[in-house]
Structure 1
Amino acid sequence: MSETRDPFVRFQDVQKSYDGETLVVKNLNLDIARGEFLTLLGPSGSGKTTCLMMLAGFESPTHGQITLDGQPIKNVPPHERGIGMVFQNYALFPHMSVAENVGYPLRVRGVARNEMERRVQRALDMVELGHLGRRRPAQLSGGQQQRVALARALVFEPQLVLLDEPLGALDKNLREQMQYELKHIHGSLGVTMVYVTHDQTEALTMSNRIAVFDDGVIQQLDEPATLYERPANAFVAQFIGENNRLMGHVEAVDGPLCTVRSDSGASIRAVNIRAGGIGERTLMSLRPERVSINPDPGSTPNILDAEVLEVIYVGDHIRSRMRVCGHDDFIVKVPNWSGHVHLRAGESLRVGWHAEDCRALDA
């Protein structure tokens, strides 16, 4: 990413309403650095795709301003913004060959034939389809069609590429392969990419930063590891990755930590993120892989009784559903090499975790 202080893309106090009453995007302020891979992540209806469409020029802000490389783009039509677009449905022309599809953006820009052929071949080689230029889209697999769409978005060397759930139609294995290929292409080209998805794993895998949307508002904007390890509120904690949720009331506050009396009566130590003061209700968030089984007494402040309800062999880890603090959906993930592969449904044991791994958030 560029070290310059000036953002390549800036949303400033942007709002969007389709009916004049309900705001789909609310007072959005967002800076995107040149060369960044930023993912807009959130559930359906959260406002992420609307932001992408406003940046592309297919929608206009109801209020506020969007700038691209320091210039307002409100009155610039989509085809003059110099932005590459990749959609979930590929949007390839079925009557054209692969090379013709990729070369289309160059043809409408009046690029000379020899130069166009050179750039088309380079773009196809970039996505490892240089040998399929003469085929029609119908003769390609879904993954190959998606690569063609990506090559078409990159062939005219845009500074910004927008991707709207481009891998949604692919099967799991191909989707994962394309994630790494996109990440590699981004790294090699240095182009700015803004990616929309509701798939949290996809976002964590590919992004420099992730903006988590809900109800038209960015709930948290951070690097993937920060989002996962330190969610800012209950929504982010529940949306990013899997986590155990325990409810209770704050009993004591001790600097950055607090003691929470769970609804089952257990006393739990946690990091006070947004729990509030004594007597306030809070939701505690705890990742399943941070829970240890039968910890040594005194090794951690949180050690509770548990009953194993279900054990699932996943391959690289064992996933166990337990009853903890009155909850029947408490999940523990144990690496396969750790010696806990012999967990059995119905057995009683103890689970524990460090206070630093448990985050007391808004209720």
Structure 2
Amino acid sequence: MGGNPDQFVRFLNVQKSYDGETLVVKNFNVDIAAGEFLTMLGPSGSGKTTCLMMLAGFEAATHGDIILDGQSINNVAPHKRDIGMVFQNYALFPHMTVAENLAFPLKVRKMSKSEIDRKVKRALEMVQLGHFGSRRPAQLSGGQQQRVAVARALVFEPKLVLMDEPLGALDKNLREEMQYEIKHIHEDLGVTMVYVTHDQSEALTMSDRIAVFEDGIVQQLATPDQLYEKPENAFVAGFIGENNRLHGQLKSVEGDTCSVALEGSDGIVKALKVNVDGVGGRTTLSIRPERVVLDPDSDQYPNRCQARVEELIYLGDHIRARMTVSGNSNFITKVPNTQRHTPLKRGEVVNIGWATEDCRALDA
């Protein structure tokens, strides 16, 4: 490697506009380490796929620089970037066998037949398709085709592998199976991977770090547990996992905590001060459903209020209870399915609570 391994891929002040006026990517800056699995996560139109396409060379940056292994690649053709690519629609050649599909990028690189045969055999075994080399793509299931697409991206041992919504066409069970398979391949090979998805659970399952996109801007770049436990703004809190929101007005600040008067009630809530304006400003409180407890102990849970049970859904290991809290009728709690808990009843009013450290005061 020619560059700093902690800065194997670099986006430096990268912008992209298709019409010369509207920026779909705004001042994108990120360093990706060699061997890292970084996911670009966000809703449709947030700029994540555009960033991947600029890295692949299929789109040109309007402004800024993209560095790969210490070298600027802004003016390097896609086929000369030594990057493997996996698309959502697999993009396999239908007239070629599986082995011929995998051999294609090796032939382009003018490798010997013996070397091609060895690399194709190894790649097929890596994705557990060792006996499928003679089949055509049409003779394979969706999951098998996706495995072939992954193998083709890895067969020439590229510096970097890019994946654009690669599991989007698969059913839920197969999708989850492939998530672990790609994660294990990444761990075994140590190759650098940049992955694009709009699926939060997929990103949390597979990634070393996740860049959460919205409106062309990275809202937060962090590890999966940091994104879930410590979201920096209301968008990230709502986009990553299930999240309860309560709106209120900032009444006072005491070091790292603050007091918030809830809208729709006379309650005061203590929260971690994360991303708020001054006293008197509006804020959004973020509380994860699993952090809410029934019949809370007053010493351990200073934030307590009444909630009306609107709906109960049995989910095996827990009961998902939708409640009305402070005017919010979509406040979710997850009640563990144990004998210690009294069964809830629809329409009853119960006491709930949560710890100060589990409640984050974010932007309004």
Shorter-chain TM-score category? over 0.9
What residue in structure 1 maps to residue 314 of structure 2? 313
Distance 1:349 1:297 in 2: 15
> How far has the Cα of 1:6 moved from its partner?
4.4
Query: What TM-score comes out, normalization by structure 1 length?
Result: 0.98
Matched to 2:320, the amino acid is R
| 2:215 pairs with 1:201 | no
Contact 1:16 1:63 in 2 (8 A): yes
What residue in structure 1 maps to residue 333 of structure 2? 332
Give 3-state SS (helix, strand or coil) of 1:66's partner: strand
Q: Could you report, residue by residue, the CA deviation over 1:250-301 in whole angstroms, capped at 9, with x for unpaired residues? A: 1111100000000022110100101222111000000000000111233311
Alignment of structure 1 residues 182-197 onto 2, 5 Å? 182-197=182-197
| 2:132 pairs with 1:132 | yes
What residue in structure 2 maps to residue 104 of structure 1? 104
Matched to 1:76, the amino acid is V
Contact 1:318 1:341 in 2 (8 A): no
Seq. identity, %: 67
- Which ranges in structure 2 are unaligned for 5 or more consecutive residues? none
Contact 1:310 1:345 in 2 (8 A): yes
Distance 2:36 2:137 in 1: 30
| 2:350 pairs with 1:349 | yes
Distance 1:227 1:244 in 2: 15
Q: Could you report, residue by residue, the CA deviation over 1:82-123 in whole angstroms, capped at 9, with x for unpaired residues? A: 000000000011111111111111011111111101100100
- Say if 1:120 and 1:341 are closer, same or farther in 2 by CA, change over 3 A: farther
Distance 2:98 2:147 in 1: 10
What residue in structure 1 maps to residue 141 of structure 2? 141
- Say if 1:338 and 1:153 are closer, same or farther in 2 by CA, change over 3 A: farther
Alignment of structure 1 residues 1-363 onto 2, 5 Å? 6-263=6-263, 264-337=265-338, 339-340=340-341, 342-363=343-364
Contact 1:245 1:283 in 2 (8 A): yes
Q: Could you report, residue by residue, the CA deviation over 1:197-220 in whole angstroms, capped at 9, with x for unpaired residues? A: 000000000000000011111000
Distance 1:249 1:110 in 2: 67
- Say if 1:77 and 1:247 are closer, same or farther in 2 by CA, change over 3 A: same
Segments of 4+ moved more than 4 angstroms: 3-6
- Say if 1:166 and 1:341 are closer, same or farther in 2 by CA, change over 3 A: farther
Distance 1:341 1:185 in 2: 46
Matched to 1:212, the amino acid is V
Q: Could you report, residue by residue, the CA deviation over 1:13-69 in whole angstroms, capped at 9, with x for unpaired residues? A: 111000000001111111100000000000111100000000000000001100100
Q: Which moved more, 1:4-13 or 1:125-134?
A: 4-13
